[in-house]
């Protein structure tokens, strides 16, 4: 269904007006030259820390990057830790999630999800099947991450044509690349919820060295119960639609009311249990390293809102979910993965080659969907991905990297709900990235990628594609000190259709549709521009990153209006489409205004927005996140006390596609306070108390297929600790 249009020119609420006024003030403070900033302390200017971007082959610092990228380091990860990767990253600029309960959630970047966002582990594939369906777990748990890098826009072309919307690289230190410098160190972390979901999480990391040999051991376990919600599992809009379908039958109305009462206050079948363990070792010498790691991952979780539809049932498109749910059993997922990684680097190879880097991941993933205690569908994916990168010595003023990447996976799905035929995919690729210094203040960067993609399905004709991508743009240090930088990138990108888009046919119950692939799909192509304005130190720091992307042959999953096996039929089509939007993040460092000694405090503001249109029908694309504002106050006293209070203001989404239900606005209030443990001060021991959704407000994520069946968790409190060993 189509909602009432709500253009940016519509009257704004007083809250929105205030937020936009604040955005304008902060933007001006970023853009104004430093000489116009009053009361800024010249003695102790605020500077952003140096953070290495491992996803870039040239590994620059974040300050030198000048591109739309975010880094979540280990300390911030521990503050934001959630059971899934998508929920952990959900408050990062431009990032939302595909939320499917506490067991599965992928990042959604600038409105792009699924296969268009590539999730990597140490620079190569995670090897899971989360890109096929939103109810499948990501086999890269934030509990074991050392750093998470979020790349937006054209820079992602180095990691595959499917990353047309963005890439998330989860890194760990399972293969040490440098010597530790001491025989042993470790870290212990735990967090325990006494409300909402009764979370119990415990993790440990150990590492050490003996001569040139380094080693790593880590593991975690996590368990959560069915989580509490502020009201009903189903949204008020969906319940109103269902009531209108049954208003003539009083018996059905009575039965529906009973069902709603049972589903109020707690989200059934939302409990989770997961674990992970990793062992790695490396040999480090003065000109490089070589190492290997072995890891295991497992997850057992309920899938809320998942239904089983019996053939022959006749349901209207809006109310099929509720009636079908009465005929089925709760669905659970049991997933396991065994993974082997190898990485190495050799420096000073020759006069022409500065270094050679190699990384490879080999994964064996299995996944059973269980209904009524019996396995209904089994998925398997065996994957191998390898990258070899050559960093060449400067040629004239050019410095850069070239490399090859090989990807192979063997996917199969067997069972009554398998909607995709078994398929093998092979994809070799060549890529390069170069940069040159045009002047003391101006650099120019360009890169490209070409790959061959071949898909071999069982019982169907093979498909082959050759997508290529190019990007180029300058990076300008506006001020000699590098306080202000401006980056611009123009890119042409192509993406080959994936196996689901080409070959699917059947009930896709996670999405509650009958999904039909289209074997005639062509490559998806887009032109895009990204701008990144950064202010790196001073009274105010931050970044403003507008973007625009125009698509030809955009692959869209669209409703047909028909039904099959009791579900609405959706098929893949190709359309012209465009995406535009922006991210703004800024921080006002109050300790630069006042003499505060060991006290540090800041006020932070963040806003992101994306708009996506189907030009063929002058309509909206589905599951596009609405405007979001975040206000945050931070306070730190020496190393002894650290606290923040934040408000997350998400606007309503009325700009919906056909057959899509609008989503109401919501506000989340979150807070955390942590303090040092005196007896463990030398080991950086800390204890913390975190509260989320403190006002117990109903919140639904518009980018989720499950938004009208599963809200976010209600008011929740969590206590935890972390300490070095």
Residue 208 has pLDDT above 50, yes or no: yes
User: How far is Cα 277 from Cα 722, in angstroms, rounded to an integer?
Assistant: 19
- Residue 49 has phi, psi (to 5 degrees) of -70, 155
First to last CA, the chain: 56
pLDDT for position 155: 67
Torsion of CA 45, 46, 49, 53, to 10 degrees: -100
pLDDT for position 313: 41
Tell me the C-alpha to C-alpha distance, in Å, between residue 228 and each of 218, 225, 264, 617.
31, 9, 9, 41
Residue 419 has pLDDT above 80, yes or no: yes
The answer to the question of residue 467 being in a domain is yes
- pLDDT tens digits, one per residue of 619-654: 999 999 999 999 999 999 988 899 999 999 999 999
- Indicate the number of domains in the chain: 1
In this prediction, residues 536-557 reach a mean pLDDT of 95
Rg (CA), the chain: 25
The answer to the question of residue 9 being in a domain is no
Q: Write the DSSP string, 492-515.
A: EEEE---HHHHH-EEEETTTTEEE
Instruction: Spell out the SS3 assignment of 301-334.
Output: EECCCCCCCCCCCCCCCCCHHHHHHHCCCCEEEE
Q: Which residues pair with 477 in a beta bridge?
A: 485
Structure tokens at 694: 């403190």
pLDDT for position 61: 46
User: How far is Cα 332 from Cα 353, in angstroms, rounded to an integer?
Assistant: 51
Query: Are 570 and 514 within 8 A, CB to CB?
Result: yes
Weakest-pLDDT range from 2-11, 504-513, 628-637: 2-11
The answer to the question of residue 402 being in a domain is yes
Structure tokens at 89: 């990253």
pLDDT for position 334: 97
- Residue 535 has phi, psi (to 5 degrees) of -120, 115
The answer to the question of residue 257 being in a domain is no
Range of the domain at 29: 14-227+267-724
Weakest-pLDDT range from 153-157, 366-370, 573-577: 153-157
> 21: pLDDT confidence band, cut at 50, 70 and 90?
very low
> 312: pLDDT confidence band, cut at 50, 70 and 90?
very low
In this prediction, residues 261-290 reach a mean pLDDT of 92
In this prediction, residues 568-572 reach a mean pLDDT of 94
In this prediction, residues 510-528 reach a mean pLDDT of 93
Residue 480 has pLDDT above 50, yes or no: yes
User: How far is Cα 505 from Cα 502, in angstroms, rounded to an integer?
Assistant: 9
- Residue 598 has phi, psi (to 5 degrees) of -80, -5
Residue 54 contacts by C-beta under 8 Å, 6 or more apart in sequence? Answer: 123, 147, 149, 169, 171
pLDDT for position 280: 98
Share of the chain above pLDDT 70, in %: 85
The answer to the question of residue 493 being in a domain is yes
The answer to the question of residue 310 being in a domain is yes
Weakest-pLDDT range from 259-273, 542-556, 654-668: 259-273
pLDDT for position 10: 38
Q: Is 593 exposed, middle or buried (0-12, 13-18, 19+ CB in 10 A)?
A: middle
pLDDT for position 55: 58
- CB-facing half-sphere around the CA of 190: CA atoms within 13 A: 5
The answer to the question of residue 249 being in a domain is no
- pLDDT tens digits, one per residue of 585-598: 999 999 888 887 88
Residue 447 maps to which CATH number? 2.40.170.20
pTM over 0.85: yes
Share of the chain above pLDDT 90, in %: 70
> 167: pLDDT confidence band, cut at 50, 70 and 90?
very high
- pLDDT tens digits, one per residue of 456-470: 999 899 999 999 999
Weakest-pLDDT range from 126-140, 309-323, 379-393, 465-479: 309-323
User: How far is Cα 430 from Cα 449, in angstroms, rounded to an integer?
Assistant: 6
User: How far is Cα 545 from Cα 488, in angstroms, rounded to an integer?
Assistant: 10
Which is nearest to 144 in space by CA: 298, 289, 357?
298
pLDDT for position 196: 82
The answer to the question of residue 573 being in a domain is yes
Residue 575 has pLDDT above 50, yes or no: yes
pLDDT for position 511: 83
Residue 319 has pLDDT above 80, yes or no: no
Residue 472 has pLDDT above 80, yes or no: yes
- CB-facing half-sphere around the CA of 495: CA atoms within 13 A: 28
Residue 222 has pLDDT above 50, yes or no: yes
pLDDT for position 317: 38
């Amino acid at each position: 269904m189509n909602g009432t249009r709500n253009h940016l020119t519509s009257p704004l609420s007083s809250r929105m007006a205030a937020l936009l006024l604040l955005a304008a003030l902060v933007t001006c403070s970023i853009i104004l030259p430093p000489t116009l900033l009053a009361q800024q302390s010249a003695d102790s200017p605020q500077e952003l820390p140096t953070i290495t971007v491992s996803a870039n082959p040239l590994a620059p610092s974040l300050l030198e990057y000048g591109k739309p990228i975010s880094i979540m380091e280990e300390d911030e990860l521990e503050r934001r830790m959630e059971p899934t990767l998508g929920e952990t990253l959900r408050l990062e600029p431009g990032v939302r999630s595909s939320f499917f309960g506490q067991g599965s959630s992928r990042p959604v970047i600038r409105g792009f999800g699924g296969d268009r966002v590539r999730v990597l582990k140490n620079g190569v594939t995670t090897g899971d099947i989360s890109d096929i369906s939103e109810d499948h777990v990501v086999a890269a748990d934030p509990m074991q991450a050392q750093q998470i890098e979020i790349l937006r826009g054209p820079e992602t072309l180095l990691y595959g044509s499917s990353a047309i919307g963005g890439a998330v690289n989860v890194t760990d230190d399972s293969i040490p690349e440098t010597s530790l410098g001491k025989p042993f160190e470790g870290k212990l972390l735990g967090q325990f919820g006494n409300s909402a979901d009764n979370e119990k999480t415990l993790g440990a990391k150990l590492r050490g060295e003996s001569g040139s040999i380094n080693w790593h051991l880590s593991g975690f376990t996590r368990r959560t119960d069915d989580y509490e919600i502020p009201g009903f599992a189903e949204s008020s809009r969906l319940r109103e639609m269902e009531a209108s379908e049954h208003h003539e039958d009083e018996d059905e109305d009575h039965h529906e009311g009973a069902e709603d009462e049972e589903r109020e206050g707690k989200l059934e079948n939302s409990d989770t249990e997961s674990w992970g363990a990793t062992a790695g070792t490396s040999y480090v010498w003065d000109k490089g390293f070589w190492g290997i790691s072995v890891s295991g991952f497992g997850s057992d979780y309920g899938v809320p809102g998942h239904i089983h539809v019996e053939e022959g049932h006749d349901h209207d498109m809006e109310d099929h979910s509720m009636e079908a749910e009465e005929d089925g059993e709760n669905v659970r997922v049991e997933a396991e993965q065994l993974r082997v990684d190898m990485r190495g680097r050799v420096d000073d190879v020759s006069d022409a080659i500065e270094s050679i880097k190699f990384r490879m991941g080999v994964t064996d993933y299995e996944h059973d969907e269980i209904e009524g205690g019996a396995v209904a569908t089994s998925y398997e994916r065996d994957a191998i991905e390898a990258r070899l990168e050559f960093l060449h010595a400067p040629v004239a003023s050019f410095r850069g990297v070239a490399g090859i990447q090989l990807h192979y996976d063997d996917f199969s799905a067997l069972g009554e709900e398998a909607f995709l035929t078994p398929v093998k995919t092979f994809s070799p690729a060549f890529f390069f990235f170069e940069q040159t210094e045009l002047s003391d203040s101006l650099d120019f960067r360009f890169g490209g990628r070409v790959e061959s993609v071949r898909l071999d399905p069982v019982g169907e004709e093979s498909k082959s594609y050759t997508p290529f991508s190019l990007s180029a743009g300058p990076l300008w240090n506006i001020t000699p000190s590098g306080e202000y930088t401006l980056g611009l990138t123009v890119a042409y990108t192509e993406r080959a259709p994936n196996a689901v888009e080409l070959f699917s046919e059947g009930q896709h119950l996670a999405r509650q549709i009958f999904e039909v692939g289209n074997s005639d799909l062509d490559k998806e192509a887009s032109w895009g521009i990204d701008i990144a304005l950064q202010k790196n130190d001073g009274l105010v720091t931050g970044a403003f990153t507008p973007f625009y992307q125009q698509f030809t042959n955009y692959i869209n999953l669209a409703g047909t209006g028909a039904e099959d096996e009791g579900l609405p039929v959706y098929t893949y089509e190709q359309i012209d489409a465009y995406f535009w939007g922006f991210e703004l993040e800024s921080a006002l460092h109050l300790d630069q205004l006042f003499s505060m000694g060991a006290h540090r405090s800041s006020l932070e503001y963040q806003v992101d927005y994306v708009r996506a249109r189907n030009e063929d029908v002058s309509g909206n694309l589905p599951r596009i996140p609405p405007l979001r504002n975040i206000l945050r106050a931070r306070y730190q006293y020496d190393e002894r006390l650290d606290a923040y209070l934040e408000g997350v203001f998400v606007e309503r989404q009325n700009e919906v596609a056909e057959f899509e239900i609008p989503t109401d606005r919501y506000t989340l209030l979150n807070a955390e306070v942590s303090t040092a443990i005196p007896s463990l001060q030398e080991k950086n021991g800390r204890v913390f108390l975190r509260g989320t959704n403190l006002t117990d407000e109903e919140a639904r994520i518009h980018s989720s297929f499950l938004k009208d069946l599963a809200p976010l968790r209600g008011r929740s409190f969590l206590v935890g600790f972390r300490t070095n060993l």
